[in-house]
């Protein structure tokens, strides 16, 4: 993938299958001990019923293949998901998606990150996020940090 061929664009309904599969594949790589394939119906319902209606979703694609996406609610600044295909971890895709989230919600961006996801925590700290408290993810029940960015 060259950064010249990578494009950010708004999510379209036709992206649903690719986005949900990318979400599953990425979380499976991050947490191999969890069977995420068994959760696909729940994820698809959450995607359709919660994220698509409430968030602005921007996808990153190369030659028509989804490589990542970000979901952010402009009114609240809540970033629910930033997903990058495992083969592109360490590339500039996550930074581009995070910059887009900041553009969509310029006053603030807030998120929950699993406490054991040190890679993501370092990434957010590098991009100006601060720890804003401990929390429990209302969906997974996992212990998380609340993190916040403000310009």
Interval 86-111: pLDDT, tens: 999 889 999 999 999 999 999 999 99
With contact defined as beta carbons under 8 Å apart, do 82 and 101 qualify? yes
Residue 31's pLDDT band, with cuts at 50, 70 and 90, is confident
pTM metric for this prediction: 0.90
Q: Is 16 helix (H, G, I), strand (E, B) or coil?
A: helix
The structural domain count of the chain equals: 1
Residue 77 maps to a domain: yes
Residue 25 maps to a domain: yes
What range defines the domain where residue 97 resides?
6-149
- CATH number of 96's domain: 3.40.630.30
Residue 1 maps to a domain: no
Residue 42's pLDDT band, with cuts at 50, 70 and 90, is confident
Q: Give the model's pLDDT for residue 138.
A: 76
Residue 75 maps to a domain: yes
Question: What is the rounded average pLDDT of the residues 62-78?
Answer: 94
Select from 30, 71, 65 the least CA-distant residue to 47.
71
Examine the pLDDT at 3 and tell me if it is beyond 60.
no
CB proximity list for 149: less than 8 A, separation 6 or greater: 102, 108, 109, 110, 124, 127, 128, 129, 130
Examine the pLDDT at 1 and tell me if it is beyond 70.
no
Question: What is the rounded average pLDDT of the residues 128-144?
Answer: 88
């Amino acid at each position: 993938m060259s950064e010249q061929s990578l494009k950010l664009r708004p999510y379209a309904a036709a992206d649903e299958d690719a986005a949900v599969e990318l979400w599953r594949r990425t979380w499976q790589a991050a947490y191999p001990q969890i069977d995420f394939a068994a959760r696909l119906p729940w994820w698809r319902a959450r995607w359709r019923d919660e994220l698509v209606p409430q968030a602005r979703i921007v996808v990153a694609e190369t030659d028509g293949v989804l490589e990542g996406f970000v979901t952010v609610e402009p009114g609240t600044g809540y970033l629910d998901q930033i997903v990058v295909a495992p083969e592109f971890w360490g590339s500039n895709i996550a930074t581009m998606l995070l910059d887009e989230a900041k553009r969509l919600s310029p006053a603030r961006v807030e998120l929950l990150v699993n406490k054991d996801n040190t890679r993501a925590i370092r990434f957010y700290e590098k991009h100006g996020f601060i720890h804003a408290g401990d929390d429990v993810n209302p969906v997974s029940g996992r212990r998380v940090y609340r993190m916040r960015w403000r310009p």
